[in-house]
Amino acid sequence: MKKWILAVAISAALAGCASQETESNLPQGVTLLESVSLAKSEVGIAYKKYQLANGLTVILHQDKSDPLVHVDVTYHVGSARELEGRSGFAHLFEHMMFQGSQHVGDEQHFKTVTEAGGTLNGTTNTDRTNYFETVPSNQLEKMLWLESDRMGFFLPALTEEKFEVQRETVKNERAQRIDNQPYGRMGEQFNQAFYPAGHQYSWPVIGWPEDLERASLDDVKNFFKRWYGPNNATLTVGGDFDEMQTLAWINQYFGEIPSGPEVNADKKSLVTLDKTRYISMEDKIHLPLIRIAFPTVYARHQDEAALDLLSNILGGGKTSIFYKNLVKDGYAVQAGVSHPCQELACQFSMYALANPAKGSQLKDLEQRMKESIEEFEHRGVTDEDLQKVKVQFEAGTIFGLQSVSGKVSTLAFNQTFSDDPNMIATDLARYANVTKADVMRVFNTYIKNKPMVVMSIVPEGQKQLIAHEDTFTPPVLEVSDVAVTGIDNIQAITSSFDRNVMPAAGKAPVLKSPELWHGELANGIEVIGTESEETPTVELLIYLNGGHRLVPIDKAGLAGLTASMLNESSQKRSSEELAQALEMLGSTVSFGASGYQSYIKVSSLTSRLDETLAIVEERLFEPKFSAADFQRLKQQQLQSLQHMMSDPNYMADTAFDGLIYGADSPLGVSSNGTLETVSGLTLADVTAFYHQQYTGGNAQIVAVSNLSEAEILGQLSGLSHWKGEASTLPALAKLPVLQGGTVYIVDKPGAAQSVIKFGKHGLPWDATGEFFKSYLMNYPLGGAFNSRINLNLREDKGYTYGARSYFSGGSELGVFEAQASVRTDVTSEALVEFVKEIDEYRNLGITDEELAFMKASISQGKALDYETPYQKAGFMRRIQRFNLDTNFTDTQTDITNKMTKTELNELAEEQLKLEQMIVVIVGDKAKIEADIKALGYPVSNL
């Protein structure tokens, strides 16, 4: 659900100071368009906006808090720029842009960024495509060289072979994310009914399979020529850099790229429906789902804000009407309302997942949803509704400034769609004027008695559950004769310098770990913290050693269910009243549980920490544990388990863990529990586990805020009376003897892909011992994007969207795993390639080039480790949980730099023994079993 935007007290500060000045020392051809600065006490994003002579917009935001830079290039092109019958080009082209350019070799983009210690990716949606890298600050020039080369010199390196490989990769991505996922095809089928025939949003971003098949290499070339000119792009750089040097580099690398064809904004016209359309779909699911949507406006339309507020009242969490009428009463496992907006259209969208315990007829849920809408009409809008959203946006705005990447993304988004990076103040003013009358007006205009699209998704063979018989059939789309129109010939560029020379890295930045303090409360609870002045926020994590590991096997799922109960009513207030109180503070308090710990996550503005911690203490020390809450949450957990059992990745994980750890170990059973164990849980079990787990003796606290040690410890004084001894973990059962070389098949008839998991027993986690060194050893094999396994299965063979291997470990045990989701028709071939890569790496060892790459990538990547509060918190939690020295990362860097080929090869020989590994495959048994048996593997069916 989108962030709610409304006026807050800081709105004037967010406006900043804009000017139209020019600077005489700017590089030739660079024009300063705008400068926005902020006083130290103000909240917002300071930046300077420039334009090159070729039309490229450049936005620079300086942030010296960490030695890193984030580079984003956003092109104003998404699937909405495609033509009818020619879908998928924008997304396919995103993939193509990582395949090298005239001066950057095949697979070198990923390798260059990763070796520099950075991360990178690209994303495509209906309206824009962006490419981004986060790297140590001394690598900025190299990133600008990379991005400029694919903007200006992409076509000379484009080949038919690259095109075919990436077309297969996109097919695999579609199979993994859409065809092989529960409800995966819902969105694309819904949009066919929601939008007029031929509307740019009526086809999926990833494209229809038949459209991808008809695409040609020339089509891809023409798509680049039409949309990838500098005049259709925004380059945004944020972080620690020298502004004038960066402008000089940008002008050097991008300035000589010629403008592309003129790009005009698409026409914005409101989507309408002549009558309600009912559609339905059968899927491999457990829970029937109903989705309803009304067409409304488009992004930043004058009515968008009021519609956002309306959706929040109807279905925005525990205080909403939908929650009360559908979830609280047990008719739905989940339900919600949102108002997502895109550049050309918005949907007022609502959904409910049926609870089979109350019946699965979607027509009954549809009626309850309609009654909830009618209830709103009589209820109207309250002062609290308006105030709640104001506070939520105030908090959301500030929390959004915690990372350079978040600030850069905001600037790039606003520039692309509004031609103004500084939209925060504008949005605040736009939403500030929303009144109760506005909300009722948009309700009457767009929702009340208006046509809608109603979609039913039901389990296969249960068509009787749909809300209504289908009244709409998608039209057959025309296929455009051409894939792109408006193409200009691209001028050949004679570069003024040798682009074949990759820029050298600058002087390495000084890597500085967070300055930590160690304290304790009066009752001995350890607190580790760091002071960060970047935002006036507090992130607290209260950890309780135990979690699922503390629970008897026959009560698996109890840790999670107990945490869920602590998110509900207290002895003083109901769940809804507590949720309302947190919403009015702009804070979040969330109880949860994982394998080895339960936890409480707290996010708060510093100014509201007192009130937030009072709610933490109320929930922690005075839970109500009502029978009604228990029955509802238990039923939701059971239905969630049923739902997850249709997810092939969950099926693979549970089968694999059961084999690796054994049925007698809590690690061999999902922390979510099983249908049998959760069905047997009682409220008395929850109460008993609460008293065992939620004790002061089990607790440790991590804090990241702009407060000092003394201030934080003072604020936490309410937890100083927390009593109780530490719990002792029960002994683990002996690990089972694995039947090495055996392939275990979990049948999923009709699966679009096969999920493959290799694995064996491994090492428990350590920071500087054999586990850490094994992580280094695995990096070239399966730990990086350009690892052997991924390049083989994804880039060379086109079998998968991604493949990897890794070591994972806890305080007691660990495993080695290698996994991928592959096309069903190449399951056995993929198995062969996994074995080949692991076996060759173990027998022949790491190369000199791989060793150098691993050392550079991991050592330089440390600059990115501590940027956000949660990254800092994770770093401190490792120190706290495993009793590490605060300088353990320096020791890791020293170990990494001193590792030799001999040491790594010895580790590979010891840790990668294929004869000790089992294989779990979740897929269509009828299609894959014979080929696997033909390879000579013993096969067992689970």
Give the confidence band of 926 by pLDDT, cuts at 50, 70, 90: very high
pLDDT at 7 over 60: no
Instruction: Look up the CATH architecture of domain 743-941.
Output: 2-Layer Sandwich (3.30)
- pLDDT at res. 107: 83
Highest mean pLDDT among 209-223, 267-281, 864-878 belongs to 267-281
Backbone φ and ψ of 408, nearest 5°: -65, -45
Which residue has tokens 């962006």?
A: 130
Q: What DSSP element (H or E) covers 19?
A: strand 17-19
Q: DSSP letter string over 734-796?
A: PPPPP-TT-EEEEE-TT-SEEEEEEEEE-----SSSHHHHHHHHHIIIIISTTSHHHIIIIII
**3 pLDDT higher than 70:** no
| pTM for this prediction | 0.90
Tell me, what's the pLDDT at 6? 31
Percent of the chain with pLDDT over 90: 73
Residue 577: burial class (beta carbons within 10 Å; 0-12, 13-18, 19+): middle
Contacts of 47 (CB under 8 A, 6+ apart): 35, 36, 59, 60, 61, 411, 421, 422
133-142, 185-194, 527-536, 594-603: range with lowest mean pLDDT: 527-536
- Kindly state the DSSP code that residue 174 receives in the 8-state scheme: H
Residues 6+ apart with CB under 8 A from 48: 32, 34, 35, 36, 59, 60, 243
Question: According to the model, what pLDDT value does residue 809 have?
Answer: 92
Query: Do 202 and 33 touch, CB atoms closer than 8 A?
Result: no
How high is the pLDDT of residue 4?
33
Quote the longest CA-to-CA distance of the chain.
77
Give the separation between CA 779 and CA 771, rounded to whole angstroms: 13
Residue 23's pLDDT is what?
A: 59
Fold of 11-254: Cytochrome Bc1 Complex; Chain A, domain 1 (3.30.830)
- At residue 18, the pLDDT reads 40
Provide the residue ranges of all domains of the chain, joining segments of one domain with +: 11-254, 516-719, 743-941
Please report the sign of the dihedral spanned by the C-alpha atoms of residue 396, residue 401, residue 406, residue 409. Answer: positive
Identify the band that residue 162 occupies on the pLDDT scale cut at 50, 70 and 90: confident
Segment among 39-43, 253-257, 705-709 with least mean pLDDT:
39-43
Half-sphere CA count of 287, side-chain side, radius 13 A:
30
Percent of the chain with pLDDT over 70: 97
Cα–Cα dist 914/760, whole Å: 9
**Which residue from 541, 394, 512, 379 is spatially nearest to 881, judged by alpha carbons?**
541
Which pLDDT band holds residue 21 (cuts at 50, 70, 90)? very low
Could you report the per-residue pLDDT of 341-394, keeping only the tens digit for each?
A: 999 999 999 999 999 888 889 999 999 999 999 999 999 999 888 888 778 777
Stretch 769-788: mean pLDDT? 95
Q: Which residues contact 473 (CB under 8 A, 6 or more apart)?
A: none
User: Residue written as tokens 């936890």?
Assistant: 599
H or E, element range at 306: helix 304-315
User: What's the topology of domain 516-719?
Assistant: Cytochrome Bc1 Complex; Chain A, domain 1 (3.30.830)
Give yes or no for residue 10 having a pLDDT over 50: no
510 pLDDT exceeds 90? no
Q: Using an 8 Å Cβ cutoff, are 237 and 218 in contact?
A: no
Q: Which residue has the tokens 């009428």?
A: 325
Q: Share the mean pLDDT of the chain.
A: 91
Average pLDDT over residues 72-85: 94
pLDDT digits (tens, 9 = 90+) for 407-444: 999 999 999 999 999 888 778 778 878 899 999 999 99
pLDDT score recorded for residue 145 = 97
Q: How far apart are CA 104 and CA 98, in angstroms?
A: 10
**What mean pLDDT comes out for the span 773-795?**
94
Contact 290, 351 (CB under 8 A): yes
Q: Is pLDDT of 244 > 70? A: yes
Per-residue pLDDT of 169-200, as tens digits, reads 888 888 888 888 889 899 999 999 999 998 99
* Beta-carbon count within 10 A of 554 CB: 13
